[in-house]
Structure 1
Amino acid sequence: MQVTIHAAKTNLSKLIDAALSGEEVVIAKGKKPVAKIVPIAQSTFTIGLLKGKVTGKGPDFFEPMESGDLGLWEGVD
């Protein structure tokens, strides 16, 4: 659907609902399209999603590296 700026100001809530339901909403200045109302993708990330499911011990980044690994890291043979 294409609406004028005046109609967009008057019906903004309805236009947002239309965009959320999948309809393409274009705002035009006169007959020239200038903007589009699109929904923002909602994040589905949940903090703590894997809490209690990850087992084992990961690397300890605060422990000193072995000399061979440290040499590789520093570019020394």
Structure 2
Amino acid sequence: METVNIHEAKTQLSRLVDKAAKGESFVIAKAGKPLVKVTALEAPTGGQIRRLGFMAGQIVVPDDFDRMGEAEIAQLFGSDA
């Protein structure tokens, strides 16, 4: 694995990021001491991305959903609802 000093990393950041994105991780060091490892992220593919509304039409929410358990909750908080 390649080790680059922090000055070199600053001046050649674009090139180093491109290499890391292609799977070539590298280490950034300061005064010869390794500080961080730069590696590519595993981004989700199109089929792995969650979509809002993917279960539309498959579930039913009761009309009183926002009032379910209202009496029990009020009792827990000492209210007479």
Q: TM-score normalised by the shorter chain: which range applies?
A: 0.5 to 0.7
- Structure 1 spans left out of the alignment, 5+ residues: none
**How many aligned positions are there?**
70
TM-score for both structures, normalised by structure 2: 0.56
Letter in 2 for 1:5: I
Q: How high is the sequence identity, in percent, across the aligned residues? A: 35
Superposition RMSD on alpha carbons, in Å? 3.1
- Structure 2 spans left out of the alignment, 5+ residues: 77-81
- Per-residue deviation, 1:45: 2.5
Q: Identify, as 1 or 2, the structure richer in helix.
A: 2
CA contact (8 A) 2:25 2:40 kept: no
**What residue in structure 1 maps to residue 50 of structure 2?**
45
Q: Map residues 1-77 of structure 1 onto 2, 5 A cutoff.
A: 1-42=2-43, 44-48=49-53, 50-52=54-56, 54-57=58-61, 60-65=64-69
